[in-house]
Amino acid sequence: MKIERIELVHIRLPLVGDFRTSFGSMRDKDTFLLGVVGDDAEGWAEFGGDPEPLYCDEYVAGAELVLRDHLIPRVTALGDVTAARIGQALAPVKRHPLAKAVLETAVLDAELRSYRMSFATYLGAVRDRVPSGVSVGIMDSAQELLDAVAGYLAQGYVRIKLKIEPGWDVAPVRAVRREFGDDLPLQVDANTAYSLADAGQLRRLDEFGLLLIEQPLAEDDLRGHAELAKLLHTPLCLDESITSARDAATAIALGACRVVNIKPARVGGYLEARRIHDVASASGVPVWCGGMLETGVGRAANLALAALPGFVLPGDTSASDRFFAEDITEPFVLDDGHLPVPTGPGTGATVLPDALRRFTVTRRDLYPHH
């Protein structure tokens, strides 16, 4: 495929409610879509990051520059562009996996649309629907949390993840266990808010039979996670620490995690995400698909990934209305606790022009760039 044009569409969608984690509170999904126009198809992808570098070191304004000045020139210089050639073309640029992911994914979408193949088929999906978990933010009171969880369970979600931080950990988990019982599949996510000195407090979570504790320690602290793992019965899962298949292999070998959260954006795209799935599967390590509050554009591709055989735990692949009253694609709707894996060409998602227009902040051409 020859790339003729690359466009960035900055979008902002209000969330249905504030989403609070250990590192901050969000009330909008503020990001950009990247559109790649090739000689016989057009593809779209969504940047996984936010305007501030709080979840990871990349952020919206920085990603635009690294795409414009360093990533897009290397890809367009290939002439005949395929998604499979992008990883190597971008390897000289250190890090920036979220920016690399949005470019590779938009190209992959265009490429697959040109031969009418779905992401699911391309990636090797073995299911046509995937079970849905939901990530529940930090709240002001236990009662507010119980009401929120009750609402999600009534909608059919099959797994609950509670965001935790020091001061909001044992008490909310105990409250949820008391109210909804020991059989509820339940896990927690600390987004790096603890240190090894908190091992005693984290050990108190062992009595609640959680599926896993996600990313308790700093992203670069694999050794700390390995030490912590020896002190806990609950399996550790890594999110922020895993940015490549090599990271995953290292973390597994060190005993730093027994489960991996795979977010395609965080690892540089769907091709690397599949490699992590393969590495983990070869070691008998279960994986699940994380989320970055994606619009339908990113959500559609995540559902395809979550349909691979090693994704044996429900992901944060929630319905569109978990975050958005109105989305920029047809919404994904929960059916018996599951979401359908899209079957159309590429991601299978179609952007609704009217909705996109209303949520668009600005549009800019990144290629050709003048």
- In the complex, which residues of this chain contact ligand SMG (CB under 6 A)? 21, 50, 55, 135, 189, 191, 239, 290-293, 316, 318
Q: Minimum distance from CB of 83 to Mg ion (Å)?
A: 26
Q: Minimum distance from CB of 182 to Mg ion (Å)?
A: 24
**Residue 239 dihedral angles phi and psi, to the nearest 5°:** -120, -85
* Residue 135 interacts with which of ligand SMG, Mg ion, none, CB < 5 to 8 Å by class: ligand SMG
Three-state DSSP at 320 gives: helix
Checking DSSP bridges between strand 159-163 and strand 186-189, what pairing results, if any? Answer: parallel
Residues whose CB is less than 8 angstroms from the CB of residue 169 and which lie 6 or more positions away in sequence, other chains included? 188, 190, 201, 202, 204, 205
Residue nearest to Mg ion (CB): 239
Question: 29, 100, 161, 263: which one is catalytic?
Answer: 263
Whether 161 is catalytic is no
Half-sphere exposure of 286 (CA within 13 A, CB side): 11
Q: How far is CA 334 from CA 133, 200, 230, 297, in A?
A: 11, 38, 38, 17
Q: Which is nearer to ligand SMG, 169 or 316 (CB)?
A: 316
Q: Which is nearer to Mg ion, 214 or 247 (CB)?
A: 214
Which region among 77-85, 186-194, 198-206, 302-310 touches Mg ion (by CB under 5 A)? Answer: 186-194
* Residue 55 interacts with which of Mg ion, ligand SMG, none, CB < 5 to 8 Å by class: ligand SMG
x/- mask, Mg ion, residues 190-219, rule CB under 5 A, reads ------------------------x-----
* Residue 97 interacts with which of Mg ion, ligand SMG, none, CB < 5 to 8 Å by class: none
Alpha-carbon dihedral 253, 256, 260, 264, rounded to 10 degrees? -90
The tokens for 105 are 């994914």
Q: How far is CA 341 from CA 9, 272, 332, 334, 349, in A?
A: 26, 20, 10, 12, 11
Please count the residues of this chain forming the interface with Mg ion, following the rule CB under 5 A.
3
* Residue 21 interacts with which of Mg ion, ligand SMG, none, CB < 5 to 8 Å by class: ligand SMG
**What secondary structure letter does DSSP report for 118?**
B
Whether 163 is catalytic is yes
Q: Minimum distance from CB of 59 to ligand SMG (Å)?
A: 11
Q: Minimum distance from CB of 26 to Mg ion (Å)?
A: 14
Q: Which is nearer to ligand SMG, 14 or 73 (CB)?
A: 14
Written as one string, the DSSP assignment of 40-109 is S-EEEEE----SSTTSSS--HHHHHHHIIIIIHHHHHTTSS--HHHHHHHHTTS-S-HHHHHHHHHHHHH
Q: Minimum distance from CB of 241 to Mg ion (Å)?
A: 10
**Residue 56 dihedral angles phi and psi, to the nearest 5°:** -145, 180
**What secondary structure letter does DSSP report for 369?**
-
Residues 317/130, Cβ–Cβ less than 8 Å: yes
Q: Minimum distance from CB of 26 to ligand SMG (Å)?
A: 6
Question: 94, 161, 163, 230: which one is catalytic?
Answer: 163
Q: Of 189, 247, 294, 327, which lies in the binding site for Mg ion, with binding defined by CB under 5 A?
A: 189
* Residue 334 interacts with which of Mg ion, ligand SMG, none, CB < 5 to 8 Å by class: none
Residues whose CB is less than 8 angstroms from the CB of residue 190 and which lie 6 or more positions away in sequence, other chains included? 22, 163, 164, 165, 169, 213, 214, 215, 216
Residue nearest to ligand SMG (CB): 291
- In DSSP terms, 351 is beta-bridged to 329
Within 221-260, the residues that bind Mg ion by CB under 5 A are 239
x/- mask, Mg ion, residues 268-307, rule CB under 5 A, reads ----------------------------------------
Q: How far is CA 281 from CA 125, 267, 337, in A?
A: 14, 17, 25
Residues forming the site for Mg ion (CB under 5 A): 189, 214, 239
Which residues carry out catalysis? 163, 263
